[in-house]
Copies of this chain bind each other. A is one copy, B any other.
Amino acid sequence: MNATTQATPADLPLHGITVVDLTRVLAGPACTQILGDLGARVIKVEQPGTGDDARAIGPFVEGTSAYFLSVNRNKESIALDLKQPADREVFERLLERADVLVENYRPGTMEKLGYGWAQLHARYPLLVMTSVSGFGQTGPYRGFPAYDMVVQAMSGMMSVTGHPGTGPCRVGVSIGDLGAGLYAVIGTQSALMRRARTGQGERVDVSMLDCQVALLENAIARYGATGSVPGPIGSRHPSMTPFDVFAAQDGWFVIAVGSDALFKRLCDLLELPALAGDARFESNAQRCTHEALLKELLEERLRTRPRAHWLQLLADNGIPTGEYSSVAEIVDHPQVQARGMFTQVQTGGGQPLRVAGNPLAVGQAQPLVRRQPPALDADRERILQELAMPQAPLA
């Protein structure tokens, strides 16, 4: 992870860890892709015929789902029907060799398959089982289906996102899935660290809803402290002013002022001494109270010059700032380019697709993508050979 590491696969932090991956779509696959990026061997077990549901989600590149390609690098694939005895035997031999099983079925499904935690722990005491579900393995909602959209809305995450009066607004990425995926990685690694001390595997029960609540951050504390219910406030910061996106002559950019001293400096740089001396703006509390007026007065000045001018001036003077970027702009951003935060994956036909890399792999000498996202069942033969099992018919 260090920019000077000359890493080989054996140097990767999770080298030697084998993950059997039953997950579909996003939360689980995001978790196992991070584990794979960090060096774990990830064996993706998919439904024969269709495979991961994400393989059917568009848009497609040469017939391959871009959605699937974006979260399934560094994984092998084998198609197994966990209701068929022959395939169950393969699955169980995989579990004998695995350190981690990750699944995101609805609670109860693994038990129905005969692979509930009690059964697995008795048979594979070293195995860590990470279960990602919408609501968790306990509680009145445990059996309900969920998607990112459901937990974003139910958690209150949507209620603090958006502009006042414009109706419900979703976080534009699937933070309900991705938040759970990140916590699932943390829980899995924690369980492996404990196993190293105790010699016992454990169950990691990750609820997407719980994770969204954890990510509500100080909205809960603010509500508890003041009794007032946080709502959407557009682009500004809830408790610091001026801390927002502002319009320059030719585009949007951020000014993030976290102290009175920085505010005074900002007023000097914008040649607005009147604001610096205005009692309505002298403390952060005062500036929050008069936020709309202050934004109007600042933009009156900012609209007179292009964004690049202000970005340079503020950056040169230590005031946190930055451009507002589109997805098209960020992929070519000089800082992200310099960090190597984008990588390429390929379709089966060799068509490249640019995807986000792993922030923890930035600067490593070896390529992030050790394995291209697999075709369904692509690794069956080799895996069966490793398990010393006769060739089963291709699913």
Contacts and interface: CB of A to CB of B under 8 A. Distances in A.
Interface string A170-185: 1111110011101101
Interface string A219-256: 11111111001111111110110011100000011101
B155 A221 contact: no
A214 B341 contact: yes
Contacts of A172: 157, 159-162, 171, 219, 230, 232-233
Using C-beta atoms within 8 Å of the partner chain, give the interface range for chain A.
35 or more
Contacts of A229: 326-328
B153 A219 contact: no
A105 to B, nearest CB: 14
Contacts of A217: 26, 30, 70-71, 173-174, 178, 356
A293 interface: no
Interface stretch (A88-96, A270-278, A317-325, A383-391): A317-325
A336 B213 contact: yes
Contacts of A69: 221
Count the copies.
2
Contacts of A382: none
A69 B221 CA distance: 8
A1 B223 contact: no
Contacts of A234: 166-170
Interface string A190-225: 111110111000111111011101111111111111
Contacts of A203: 1-3
Interface string A322-345: 111111111101111011011000
Contacts of A169: 161-163, 169, 234-235
Contact of A204 (B2, B159, B175): B2
Nearest to A163: B166
Top-3 shortest CB links A-B: A160-B172, A13-B190, A139-B338
7 contacts: A5-B202, A38-B190, A66-B221, A71-B217, A154-B324, A160-B172, A207-B341
